[in-house]
Structure 1
Amino acid sequence: MTQQYPVSSTPATYQPTEIQLARAAALRRFNWLFVYVPIVLGTVSILFLLGFMFWQSFAPEQSETSRTLLSGIADVVLILTLMPMMLICALGPLALIGLAAFYYNRRQTQKDAPEPAPPVGKLHLLLWRLDAIVNTAAQKSAELLPKIAQPVIQFNALLAYIESWFKQIRSLFSRNKR
């Protein structure tokens, strides 16, 4: 009689390694240092410029220099505001179309598959799985390559031995002392 083992109907969730979790923490630190902090500093500086413009426009004494400064600051604020708006207006519809196509394709391919709950995003999960596959391939190649290379090295050593043996024999029977 064969024994039947129970099969789980729910797939096991992927457990990331310690190295992958450390990479995720390093990514969060990098994002705070190089993404969020510059955005906050830029926003605060633009708000400071707007406040300075407002204060300068209602100052009791206005000279030609203050009006020129106010006009220059207004131009800078206008340019800094319009450039991102133009990019947002140009990329927004394309991003929505791409997002709709992505969700439609995902819904078609994974209708019945349960959603795993990884600690980070799905892109990280995919990259972690790829990392595990690459690590497995590297371990297997580190295991098998010496076994494959050893006969080749032995054969080359035998050929070198035979060649040096023939050279030694030839030097014994020749008049040249090379």
Structure 2
Amino acid sequence: MATANQISSLGRRIYRFAASVSGVIALLIMLWGCTANDFNAGAIAWKTYSNSRYGFEFPYPSNWTSLATPANDDGIAFFSPQDNSVEIRGWASHQLPNSIVTEQESVKKIKPNFQTAQGVSGVLVIEVDRQVGSMTLTLTQSQVKYYWQGRSKSQEFQNYYRFFYYIAQQYRIPKS
């Protein structure tokens, strides 16, 4: 016969297992929604942002508004006119010589998993928590790191996934 402690311990393990399974199921449902084919790039009027300092560029919808460009001109952010919690950003930074070794070591751990239409390989990370969903692209060339990010409320992320993915594919950096 099982003791009360054994039953309680078993109950906690079952609860933890059920909680982890339900979290995985919720993530799978959200990602399944991200594969919907309802995005049509041709239906959007696009403009191209070109960064004068680092030379990267990416398309953005022509009706989106931008924040003021920082004085150092390292990037920009655009916001949807329908929902200012939906944003796309692009920026770049020079790596310090001391950080290159550390960066090279960390790059070995995270292998490129994405290729832009330009043919540049990089790392694309999707993160969804309770409040925010984001897609972040990181490209490294010489001593410059280039970034692009799309963000929305997590419950709306599946509606923007293909839109963000399209822009990430179109992100361009200077040829080396």
Could you state the TM-score of these two structures normalised by the residue count of structure 1? Answer: 0.25
User: Which structure features the higher share of strand residues?
Assistant: 2
1 or 2 for the larger relative contact order (CA 8 Å, sep ≥6)? 1
- TM-score, normalised via structure 2 length: 0.26
Greater fraction of residues in helix? 1
